[in-house]
C-alpha cells in the first residue's frame, strides 16, 4: 500500500481523520471522566 | 501575572505562525517547486539560498513556540501533559506540539544538514536523509491539523 504521506492530499486527509479520531477519543475517554 | 500571560500568548502565536507557516511553505510549495526546479537546473537557487534561511527560522520558531506555550500553561503544565485536571484538550494539543518539536530537531534538521551539504554525507546517506526528512515533515503537517484543533478547543471550548 502506498504511504498516504507521499501525497499532499493524502497528508491533509490523514490529518482530518486523525483530528476526528482524537476528538472522539477525547470526548469518550478524557473529558468529564 | 495576567500581563505576562498575555505576552506569552502573543509570543506563542507569533512564533507558532512562523513555525507552522514555514512548515506549510515546505510542504505545499517548496517540495513541488524543487522538483520542477531540478528538472530545469535551477534547484540550487532554492537549496542554497532559500531552504537554509527558511530552516533557520523554522527550527528556532519551533523552540520559541514550545517555550512560550509551556510558560502559558503555567501551573496547568503537568495536568496538560498527564491529560488530567481539566487540561485534557489543551494537553492533546501540547503533546502533538511536543512530538512535532521532536521531529523538527531530531529528524528534520539533522537530515536537512546532510541534504544541504552542511555536514559531509555520501549519496546513499543523502538519499536516506531525504526520505526521513520528507516523511517527518509530512508527519508534522498531518499532526498540525489536530494540534491546532485541540489548541483552539483547549483554550476556548467547543
What is the rounded distance in angstroms from the CA atom of residue B86 to the CA atom of residue B77? 11
C-alpha cell at A10: 493524502
What is the rounded distance in angstroms from the CA atom of residue B108 to the CA atom of residue B105? 6
What is the rounded distance in angstroms from the CA atom of residue B42 to the CA atom of residue B38? 6
Reply yes or no on whether the pLDDT at B22 is more than 70: yes
Quick check: B142 and A6 CB within 8 A? Answer: no
Quick check: A11 and B138 CB within 8 A? Answer: yes
pLDDT at A33: 53
Q: What is the ipTM of this complex?
A: 0.93
Contacts of B88 in chain A (CB under 8 A): 26, 30-31
Looking at chain B from residue 115 to 154, which residues have their Cβ under 8 Å from any Cβ of chain A?
A: 135, 138-139, 141-146, 149-150
Reply yes or no on whether the pLDDT at A18 is more than 90: yes
Write the Ramachandran bin of B84: left for phi over 0, alpha for psi from -120 to 50, otherwise beta: beta
Give the chain B residue whose CA is nearest to the CA of A11.
B142
Looking at chain A from residue 1 to 30, which residues have their Cβ under 8 Å from any Cβ of chain B?
A: 3, 5-6, 8, 11-12, 14-16, 18-19, 22-23, 26, 30
Residues B16-46 as b/e (b if ≥16 CB within 10 A, e otherwise) read bebbbebbeebbeebeeebeebeeeeebeeb
pLDDT tens for B109-118 read 999 999 999 9
Q: Is B4 exposed, middle or buried (0-12, 13-18, 19+ CB in 10 A)?
A: exposed
**What confidence category does residue A20 fall into, taking pLDDT thresholds of 50, 70 and 90?**
very high
DSSP code, position A5: G
Quick check: B146 and A15 CB within 8 A? Answer: yes
Reply yes or no on whether the pLDDT at B53 is more than 60: yes
Name the residue among B21, B14, B158, B23 with its Cα closest to residue B72.
B14
pLDDT at A29: 85
Give the chain A residue whose CA is nearest to the CA of B136.
A5
What is the rounded distance in angstroms from the CA atom of residue B115 to the CA atom of residue A5? 20
Amino acid at each position: 500500500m502506498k504511504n498516504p504521506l507521499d501525497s499532499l492530499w493524502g497528508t491533509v486527509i490523514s490529518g482530518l481523520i486523525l483530528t476526528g479520531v482524537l476528538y472522539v477519543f477525547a470526548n469518550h475517554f478524557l473529558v468529564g471522566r | 501575572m495576567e500581563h505576562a500571560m498575555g505576552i506569552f500568548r502573543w509570543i506563542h502565536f507569533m512564533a507558532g505562525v512562523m513555525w507552522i507557516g514555514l512548515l506549510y511553505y515546505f510542504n505545499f510549495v517548496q517540495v513541488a517547486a524543487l522538483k520542477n526546479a531540478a528538472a530545469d537546473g535551477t534547484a540550487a537557487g532554492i537549496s542554497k539560498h532559500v531552504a537554509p534561511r527558511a530552516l533557520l527560522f523554522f527550527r528556532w520558531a519551533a523552540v520559541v513556540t514550545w517555550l512560550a506555550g509551556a510558560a502559558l500553561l503555567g501551573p496547568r503544565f503537568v495536568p496538560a501533559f498527564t491529560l488530567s485536571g481539566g487540561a485534557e484538550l489543551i494537553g492533546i494539543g501540547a503533546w502533538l506540539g511536543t512530538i512535532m518539536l521532536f521531529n523538527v530537531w531530531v529528524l528534520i534538521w539533522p537530515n536537512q544538514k546532510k541534504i544541504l551539504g552542511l555536514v559531509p554525507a555520501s549519496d546513499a546517506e543523502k538519499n536516506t536523509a531525504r526520505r526521513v526528512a520528507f516523511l517527518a515533515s509530512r508527519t508534522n503537517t498531518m499532526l498540525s491539523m489536530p494540534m491546532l484543533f485541540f489548541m483552539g478547543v483547549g483554550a476556548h471550548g467547543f
